[in-house]
Amino acid sequence: MENKVAPGGVAHMQIGDKSVELPILKGSTGPDVVDIRKLYAEADVFTYDPGFTSTASCESQITYIDGDAGILLYRGYPIDELAENSSFLEVCYLLLHGELPTATQFAEFERTITYHTMLHEQFDRFFQTFRRDAHPMAIMVGAVGALSAFYHDSTNVHDEKQRQISAHRMIAKMPTIAARAFKYAVGQPFVYPRNELGYADNFLRMCFAVPAEDYKVNQVLAKAMDKIFILHADHEQNASTSTVRLAGSSGANPFACIAAGIACLWGPSHGGANEEALNMLKEIGTVDRIPEYVQGVKDRRYRLMGFGHRVYKNYDPRAKVMQKTCHEVLDALGKRDEPLLQVAMELERIALSDPYFVERKLYPNIDFYSGITLSAMGFPSEMFTVLFALARTVGWIAQWKEMIEDPSQKIGRPRQVYTGPVQRSFVPIDKR
């Protein structure tokens, strides 16, 4: 990656009797940043920013979010335009290479991904070692980490060709791994990928086909799946992406880094929220129970899952697309009267008008409608975060690749403000 950050002035900082000048840097859009790299050397202080609410950890040219305006761009293209007009594989190419592909480039990319979808046969036996009731995310963390043991020929991060092969392998194999995690949990035989099918069609078939009968992919569901993948493909420097970058900054192989990202994504404040949002809707159950539930949120007994976002202080643009997709899927499946949808719509209406949520800028996020949609498609809630991981893999890889190719890249090593005991002498156990 060519560094493009531009000079934009100087910030003055007074620390005790020391006066420090810090460069201000400009990106192509978004807030300027104060470059504090020399602060410790010049003023002997660190900055303190737990949760990184005011810290830019890297320069990136992949994804841009304006949380106040509710804007999300992949390489400059608005998410709703991509969801409406593009395909997940085209978006993968865009995220990895920076530009939309020409027809020839796309055909070649699609062929490469299609021909890497199979897993080593020995790898399939790896799944059998998990408990039969293992959470599919536990299987994902293990299985993706184990890829580095099978594809050692693409783990040299300093070799551009190997970086590319590992990227293609992960994008191609992730649906196969995710479908196997699902099949293993439901006790059905693994279904092999079919190369004549599209990415989303293939994934749905690997999840839902059984040897006892033919399976025809419902095109409304395949299109919805593809859109869901596009919406989740990347999201700037969120917790899991930052995990991938931090893991990768030590030179760790890409499979291990993506496994680290999956582990982080699993948390309920991040990718696990879609599972929690659906559980919440089920717990509420009926529209008449919403006021009581909302009161519990105001009493701070629990949070409204699927609402709020660290960056979006406006409607999550992904949630808008997701809401439409949700209605399309429920219509196609004849589930328009699904009670959970009624609860969701009423809850959304109340939250968007109730001062408690309005004042805190708590809008529905993508997870609010994705749970209902995926559930209607036949996925159990434990699979929701797996699908998120599948889709986010391309974003993680694009960000990892960008970091490796950034000339200013260093190993990630935050500092701390230490508040533990100061130096003291060891006391033998019989004297304590």
Q: Which is nearer to ligand CMC, 201 or 234 (CB)?
A: 234
Query: What are the catalytic residues?
Result: 309, 367
Q: Name the residues that contact ligand CMC, by CB under 6 A.
A: 235, 238, 269-271, 273, 297, 303-310, 360, 362, 365-367
Q: Report how far residue 409's alpha carbon sits from residue 412's, in angstroms, rounded to the nearest whole number.
A: 9
**Least distance to ligand CMC from the beta carbon of 235, Å?**
6
Burial of 396 (0-12, 13-18, 19+ CB in 10 A): buried
* Residue whose beta carbon is closest to ligand CMC: 308
Q: Which residues pair with 425 in a beta bridge?
A: none
Q: Which is nearer to ligand CMC, 101 or 271 (CB)?
A: 271
Burial of 140 (0-12, 13-18, 19+ CB in 10 A): buried
Structure tokens, 74: 């992949």
Q: Which is nearer to ligand CMC, 101 or 395 (CB)?
A: 395
CA-based nearest residue to 366, from 238, 245, 262, 202: 238
Q: Which residue has the tokens 């809850």?
A: 347
Q: Report how far residue 22's alpha carbon sits from residue 40's, in angstroms, rounded to the nearest whole number.
A: 11
**Least distance to ligand CMC from the beta carbon of 388, Å?**
8
Secondary element (H or E) of residue 317: helix 317-332
**Least distance to ligand CMC from the beta carbon of 62, Å?**
15
Structure tokens, 34: 């104060």
**Least distance to ligand CMC from the beta carbon of 379, Å?**
17
**Least distance to ligand CMC from the beta carbon of 72, Å?**
10
- Radius of gyration for the chain, computed over Cα atoms and rounded to the nearest angstrom: 23
Q: Which is nearer to ligand CMC, 30 or 251 (CB)?
A: 30
Q: Which is nearer to ligand CMC, 217 or 273 (CB)?
A: 273
